[in-house]
Amino acid sequence: MILEDGEYSSEYENIDVKDKIVLTKGDIKIVYNLAVEKFGAIGIIFDGMKEVKPIRHRMDIPDAVQYSSFWWTKKDKKCFGFVLSPKEGERLRKLIKERIKNNESPIRVKAKVDSKFYEGNIEVVSAIIPGETEEEIIIISHLCHPQGTANDNASGSAVNLKIAGTINKLINEGKLQKPKRSIRFLWVPEMTGTFAFLAAKEERIPKMIAAINLDMVGENQDICKSSFLIERTPDANSSFVNDLVERIRDEFTKDTKNPFGAGRFASFKYATTPFSGGSDHYILSDPTVGISCPMLIQWPDKFYHTSLDTLEKVDPEMLRKIGVIAATYSYFLANAGEKETVWLANEILSKFKRKIIRFIQEKITEISSQEDLKKVAIKLINLEKRINYLSDCQKNSVTSLKKLSSINVNRFDIEIEEFTKKEFQRTKKEIYKNFSFNENELLEMYKDINKEARKRELIKEFEDKKKIKWENIAEETIISRIYKGPITEDTILNGLNRKQREEFYKLKKENEEIYNLLRTLALYWADGKRKLSEISDLVELESGLRNTEFLIKYFDFLSKCKLIKSKIVK
Ligand SMILES: [Zn+2]
């Protein structure tokens, strides 16, 4: 039976899939829940190819096989699956359609699957360069994907191994001193291995000062269409690690000269991006775990998670650069004392000032193009909120330095606060002065709106009335976390019956673009004291996205599965 995607119940209305094998391009887990669990199919053939925007569409790599998996618990119906390349899939689709058209007998496929459930172990490889204290710096990489697996993530695992060997050799040769803190090297099955490693000896977690995740670091940028990214920790875990790794990366960004050598720039593409998740750093950086961990990754990658992720797409020079960055980061942190901490505090402060100035520069342009006076006032209020938020995050980064050395950070906090205030006052004055509107009028309006400038009020005036209902519920809800570490989708699905899963998938599909980011960030901010409305505010300040309705519905599923506690307060 052919399904285009098969992700909605309605697609099954006129076809009988019972005891048949379905061919689909859709989300396999959703198809399993509907085709197999609900409508009785016995197997799945998948010919989908996940798009990686803007560099990979389904037919861009027609001969590649997409890395796909789905699974079930003992209470669910057993099922098998096979994956075809898009080209093979198209051939099969055409054949099936022709048979139907000509009233011929249906295609028969033969499948033999030999598998069983059994108790197993998760293997986590750990190596350590011992320091003088019990504190540790961690370099983590995952090694668990089916072939091809060159860039994801043999590349990260290989760099990790090379760093361990190199630092160890330099120490043995007397070229580097033995570090103060230990450096631990971890090779894990992605996510599951990290959960297992942390859970095995929870008491050592507070000694883990910082980490770095190496995930897909080898890409040949021209072939794979990638950029080298530093992904920062989430704002709920603001940390010194971000500015440090960026500072080390910047040493590499002047490796090319202009024709007569007057200017220097990078020969490769690079960027720093906010936290987005999706690998082991999302477990470590969760505030309930508290091990700040940026990720080094090359993204996008045209061959990501396919059989074409092979060795000739790996660039040894990229491996070297990223290896040196991660090695420098970990050895520096393993030895950082008072002097290094004060230097890093100054780095954080200077970077913050640049960030604020850049941010305000953009906002002045944005506000200047407004014509509605009320919108100008609201934009100013949002600007104030946003720079106060940035300042709070940066103060938390400075505070996090206490993990390295017990320096007094007050002077940095004060400077951050005063700088923020001064820049905002200056901006406000400029906008009043340069705007063609009457200054007093704008001032009055600003004062008025600011008095009740809670987000909800703004929504009442300017947005969809339907949203207010959800904002009101959020105002009365407090979310408490029960477990340390983020909650995986599979954990939620295991706690739901088939019908609830269908509802859960519907929520996921309707919010596909924001689903992963919002659910992760919101859980990080849930500290058992904040109302869901405050969490929604913080997520919006962090990501620019607001969807309180989604968060309420999502947390409702979590509380049904007893994965969080939700409490109503008046
Ligand atoms: Zn992967």
Instruction: State pLDDT tens for residues 72-109.
Output: 777 889 899 999 999 999 999 999 999 999 999 999 99
Q: What distance in angstroms lies between residue 352's CA and the mean position of ligand 1's atoms?
A: 33
In the chain, which residues have pLDDT < 70? Answer: 436-438, 451-465
| Dist CA 235 CA 64 (whole Å) | 37
pLDDT, residue 373, reads 80
Q: What distance in angstroms lies between residue 145's CA and the mean position of ligand 1's atoms?
A: 7
Q: What distance in angstroms lies between residue 304's CA and the mean position of ligand 1's atoms?
A: 7
Q: What distance in angstroms lies between residue 423's CA and the mean position of ligand 1's atoms?
A: 42
> Model-level pTM?
0.95
Q: What distance in angstroms lies between residue 153's CA and the mean position of ligand 1's atoms?
A: 7
Q: What distance in angstroms lies between residue 417's CA and the mean position of ligand 1's atoms?
A: 41
* C-alpha Rg value of the chain to the nearest Å: 26
Q: What distance in angstroms lies between residue 69's CA and the mean position of ligand 1's atoms?
A: 12
Q: What distance in angstroms lies between residue 378's CA and the mean position of ligand 1's atoms?
A: 42
| Residue 257 in tokens | 């000269």
Q: What distance in angstroms lies between residue 385's CA and the mean position of ligand 1's atoms?
A: 37
| Residue 326 in tokens | 């991660």
Q: What distance in angstroms lies between residue 119's CA and the mean position of ligand 1's atoms?
A: 25
Q: What distance in angstroms lies between residue 562's CA and the mean position of ligand 1's atoms?
A: 29
Q: What distance in angstroms lies between residue 149's CA and the mean position of ligand 1's atoms?
A: 8
pLDDT, residue 461, reads 54
Q: Which residues of 448-487 are buried (b: 16+ CB within 10 A; e: fewer)?
A: ebeeebebbeebeeeeeeebeebbeebbebbbebeebbbb
Q: What distance in angstroms lies between residue 60's CA and the mean position of ligand 1's atoms?
A: 20
Q: What distance in angstroms lies between residue 419's CA and the mean position of ligand 1's atoms?
A: 42
Q: How many CA atoms lie within 13 A of 79 on its CB side?
A: 32
Q: What distance in angstroms lies between residue 197's CA and the mean position of ligand 1's atoms?
A: 19
pLDDT, residue 453, reads 57
Q: What distance in angstroms lies between residue 305's CA and the mean position of ligand 1's atoms?
A: 6
Extract the runs of DSSP E, i.e. beta strands, from 241-397. Answer: 256-257, 264-265, 270-273, 295-299
Q: What distance in angstroms lies between residue 306's CA and the mean position of ligand 1's atoms?
A: 10
Q: What distance in angstroms lies between residue 150's CA and the mean position of ligand 1's atoms?
A: 10
Q: What distance in angstroms lies between residue 190's CA and the mean position of ligand 1's atoms?
A: 8
The residue type found at 185 is F
DSSP-based helix, strand, coil % in the chain, nearest 5: 50, 15, 35
Q: What distance in angstroms lies between residue 346's CA and the mean position of ligand 1's atoms?
A: 36
Q: What distance in angstroms lies between residue 465's CA and the mean position of ligand 1's atoms?
A: 41
How far does CA 39 lie from the centroid of its chain? 34
- Sort strands 80-83 and 125-129 into parallel, antiparallel or unpaired: unpaired
Q: What distance in angstroms lies between residue 30's CA and the mean position of ligand 1's atoms?
A: 20
Q: What is the pLDDT of residues 271-314, one digit of tens each?
A: 999 999 999 999 999 999 999 999 999 999 999 999 999 999 99
Closest CA to 305 of 489, 159, 150, 140: 150
Q: What distance in angstroms lies between residue 567's CA and the mean position of ligand 1's atoms?
A: 37
Q: What distance in angstroms lies between residue 296's CA and the mean position of ligand 1's atoms?
A: 13
| Dist CA 202 CA 190 (whole Å) | 19
Q: What distance in angstroms lies between residue 379's CA and the mean position of ligand 1's atoms?
A: 40
Q: What distance in angstroms lies between residue 9's CA and the mean position of ligand 1's atoms?
A: 30
Q: What distance in angstroms lies between residue 313's CA and the mean position of ligand 1's atoms?
A: 15
Q: What distance in angstroms lies between residue 67's CA and the mean position of ligand 1's atoms?
A: 9
pLDDT, residue 454, reads 55
Per-residue H/E/C for 524-559: HHCCCCCEHHHHHHHHHHHHCCCCHHHHHHHHHHHH
Instruction: Write out the residues surrounding ion ligand 1, Cβ under 5 A.
Output: 152
Q: What distance in angstroms lies between residue 493's CA and the mean position of ligand 1's atoms?
A: 21
